Structure 1
Amino acid sequence: MVSEREVLVAAAVVVFALISQSEGIIGGREVVPHSRPYMASIQKPEGETMKHECGGFVIADQWVMTAVHCMPTGPEGRRVVLGLHSLSEDEETKQTFDILELHNHPDFNPLNYDNDIALIKLDHPFNSSVAVRAVEYLRSGGTNPTTNEEVETAGWGSYDNLGSRPDKLKEVVIEMVSSNRCRRSDYFGRKFTGNMMCAHKVCDGDDCEVKNEDSCDGDSGGPLIYKGVAVGITSNGGKKCGQLKKPGVYTIISHYTPWIVGLAGVPDSVEDQST
C-alpha cells in the first residue's frame, strides 16, 4: 500500500516537473554584469519604492526605445534606470532619469499590439560608460533574421508562469519562427501582422538538452538582438510563456525608420547592419 507521504512526494515531483517545463527569462542565464550596456529598466512607483515593470534599450543620446503597451496612458511617475545589473543592489554604475517625453506610436492597436513601439526622451543625456551605451538598431532596407536563425533577448522579466522575477539581468538565445506559422489559426491567426516577427526555443522531445526558452512578463520593451543589432522589440505572446504554439512576438523595428528618425534625429542612411 502506498503511504500518504509517498503520495505527497509524488505530487510534489509532478508539480516541479510542470513548473520546470516553463522555466526561464523563460530559460536562459544571468548575463555577465554590464555586458548589455544598452538595457534599460522602466520602473513604476509602488509605495515609497520603484518597481521594475518593463524593459527598454538605449538607441541614441537621451533616447530609449520600448513598447507602447508598457505605458499606454503616459509615464505616470515612471522612471528609467540605466547601467544596472541588479534591480536591488546599490550599483555605482546606475543612472536614473525622469521621462521628459513619451512618444507612443499613433497607430498602436491595443487589440493585437500592432505597431507596439514607443520612444522615451530622458530628462537629461546619459553619461556614456562601460555600463551605459547605445545599441545599433536596424533601419529600412536592412536584413532581418529568417526562420531558425538564432537571436538574443534579455530582461528582468518572469522566469516562470507563476510570475517569479529575477533580481539580476538574464539573457536567452532563441530561434526565429516562420511568420507563416505564426499566422496560422492555431498560433496567432489574424492578430499576427506584417509588423511582427516571432521567436522562441521549444523542447519537443524527452531528451532535450535545453527546456523551453522564451521572453515573458516584464521583458516587454526589451530588444531582440541579431548579430549585435536590435531588430525587434519584445511585445507579447501567449497567456503563458514558453508554449509550443505561442512564441514570443516582437515588433519589427526597421518598419519604423522614418518615425524614429523624425523624433530622435538618428541618421537613417546606414549600410546593411546585419552583415
Structure 2
Amino acid sequence: MGSERDALSAAVFLVALISYGEGIIGGREAAPHSRPYMASIQRPEGENMKHECGGFVIAAQWVMTAVHCLPTGPNGRKVVLGLHSLSKQEETTQTLDILELHNHPDFNPSNFDNDIALIKLDRPFNTSDTVQAVEYLRAGGANPSTGAEVETAGWGSLDDLESRPDKLREVLVEVVSSNRCKRSDYFGRKFTDNMMCAHKVCPEPCSEPYRKQDSCDGDSGGPLLYNGVAVGITSNGGKKCGQIRKPGVYTVLSHYTEWINNTMAPQDTSD
C-alpha cells in the first residue's frame, strides 16, 4: 500500500512539473513569421538537423547568438532563417552555412559573463517579409529599468523536462532588479554588470494559468527586446528555468558596441 501511495505521489509530482510551464515557460505561440529576425541554430543529428539554440539577424550577413551555444566552433551547424515550424517544410525557409564564428574573447564559462557571439553567414540572406534584421541597442542607449516589460522568443523547452515545441513561442517578462539578482539566494557573485535578469511572476493568489514566465533550454542565443529593439541575448535560459529565484539572465548588448563594430567592420563595411 505504501509503495502504491509513493508511486501515486511521484506521478502527481511529475504531472505538476509538466504542467507548471507550458510555453517558452508560460508563453504562447507567436504569430507565424511575426518575428522575421529569429534564427534557429541547428546541429547535425544523423541524417537530420536538430534545433539547438536561437539567434537573431542584425545585418545582411550577420547573426548574433550566445558563446555557450557554439563554444568549440560551428562543427557542421547551420543557421535557418524564415521558419516558424521546426518540422514542416516552409517556402520561406533559408538555410545558410556558417562562414565565420566570432566568440567574445572574454567569455567566462564559469558564469557565462560576456556571453555574446557573432556568426557571419556564408552569403547574405534574401531579405523578405519573413527574414529581416532587427535593431539592437548601442552604447549610450537606455536599457530597460527594473519592472519594465520586455519580450523574448524561441523554440526552447516548455519545461525543465526538456519537452520541446515545434513552433516559435514568445513570452512577455519583466526586468528584475540587478541588486536582487546579485543576492546570494539568486545568482550571487556570478551575476555581473554585463547581465540583466527578467521573468514574470504572478503573485498569489494567481489568476493566470501559469505562475512563472521565463526563457528555458534551447532559447539561448535569442533576443531580449524592449520596444522592438534587441537589448539582450538569452544567456542562461537553460539553468533552472521556471524557478522563482532564478530569473532568466541576459547579456546586455549595449556593453559590446565597440567589439561588435570591430568584428563586423573588416568583413562588412556596408551600413
Deviations 1:152-179 (A, max 9, x none): 0000000011000001000000010000
1:135 aligns with 2:161: no
Contact 1:52 1:87 in 2 (8 A): yes
Superposed displacement of residue 263, structure 1? 1.8
Deviations 1:51-78 (A, max 9, x none): 0000000000100000000000100000
* Letter aligned with residue 135 of structure 2: E
Instruction: Report the equivalent of 1:244.
Output: 244
* 1:144-223 superposed matches below 5 A: 144-209=143-208, 210-223=210-223
- Which secondary structure state, in structure 1, belongs to the residue aligned with residue 257 of structure 2? helix
Superposed displacement of residue 238, structure 1? 6.9
Separation in structure 1 between the aligned mates of residue 258 and residue 74 of structure 2, nearest angstrom: 24
* Letter aligned with residue 139 of structure 2: S
Deviations 1:113-149 (A, max 9, x none): 0000000000000000000000000000001011111
Question: Superposition RMSD on alpha carbons, in Å?
Answer: 2.1
Superposed displacement of residue 202, structure 1? 1.9
1:122–1:196 CA distance, 2 compared to 1 (3 A): same
- Deviation above 3 Å: which 4+ runs of structure 1? 6-15
1:79–1:238 CA distance, 2 compared to 1 (3 A): closer
- Single out whichever of 101-110 and 257-266 deviates more from structure 2: 257-266
Gaps of 5+ in 2: none
Separation in structure 2 between the aligned mates of residue 115 and residue 14 of structure 1, nearest angstrom: 37
Instruction: Report the equivalent of 2:18.
Output: 19
Instruction: Report the equivalent of 1:228.
Output: 228
1:263–1:167 CA distance, 2 compared to 1 (3 A): same
Instruction: Report the equivalent of 1:104.
Output: 103
Superposed displacement of residue 188, structure 1? 0.4
Aligned sequence identity (%): 75
* Letter aligned with residue 140 of structure 2: G
Superposed displacement of residue 24, structure 1? 2.8
1:108–1:10 CA distance, 2 compared to 1 (3 A): closer
Instruction: Report the equivalent of 2:253.
Output: 253
Aligned length: 266
Contact 1:86 1:167 in 2 (8 A): yes
Separation in structure 2 between the aligned mates of residue 251 and residue 221 of structure 1, nearest angstrom: 9
* Letter aligned with residue 183 of structure 2: R
Separation in structure 1 between the aligned mates of residue 6 and residue 189 of structure 2, nearest angstrom: 45
Q: TM-score of the superposition, structure 2-length normalised? A: 0.93
Superposed displacement of residue 207, structure 1? 2.7
Deviations 1:34-63 (A, max 9, x none): 000000000001111110000000000100
- Single out whichever of 173-182 and 236-245 deviates more from structure 2: 236-245
Contact 1:139 1:254 in 2 (8 A): yes
Superposed displacement of residue 27, structure 1? 1.2
Contact 1:202 1:242 in 2 (8 A): no
1:10–1:184 CA distance, 2 compared to 1 (3 A): closer
